[in-house]
């Protein structure tokens, strides 16, 4: 038992794909969000030009997300709710600290 290392160091790395998925689901769950302003696919993740962009600085994330709101909703209120939901869900589900969530309202959808 004495030869067991007491100071073993382990690291857990969360993929940016997981953070993008959690952010997407959190944003779409907010009342007033009609959708994202584009599709998330493999190329958008590789080129970082989709509706959700992740910037990692050390182990802290900065998230940019572009949404479309439902018509007749207040854009500022919906954007603030998206900020809170994305930050809370990403931090709770992945353990990755989120420094900021920038929300851009790219349009409105009237049904």
Beta-carbon contacts of 110 under 8 Å, excluding residues fewer than 6 positions away, are: 71, 72
Question: CA-CA distance, 81 to 91, in Å (whole number)?
Answer: 15
List per-block mean pLDDT (blocks of 10 residues) for the chain, which spans 111 residues: 62 86 96 91 71 91 96 95 98 96 95 81
Write down the domain spans for the chain.
Answer: 16-109
Query: Which pLDDT score, from 0 to 100, does residue 50 have?
Result: 86
Question: CA-CA distance, 23 to 83, in Å (whole number)?
Answer: 10
Classify 16-109 by CATH class.
Answer: alpha beta
CA triple 80-89-19, angle to 5 deg: 105
């Amino acid at each position: 038992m004495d030869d067991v290392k007491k100071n073993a160091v382990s690291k857990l790395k969360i993929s940016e794909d997981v953070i993008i998925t959690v952010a997407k689901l959190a944003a779409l769950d907010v009342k007033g969000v009609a959708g994202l302003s584009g599709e998330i696919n493999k190329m958008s993740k590789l080129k970082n030009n989709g509706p959700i962009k992740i910037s990692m600085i050390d182990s802290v994330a900065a998230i940019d997300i572009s949404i479309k709101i439902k018509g007749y909703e207040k854009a500022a209120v919906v954007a603030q709710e998206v900020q809170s939901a994305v930050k809370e869900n990403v931090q709770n589900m992945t353990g990755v600290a989120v420094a900021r969530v920038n929300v851009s309202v790219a349009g409105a959808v009237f049904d």
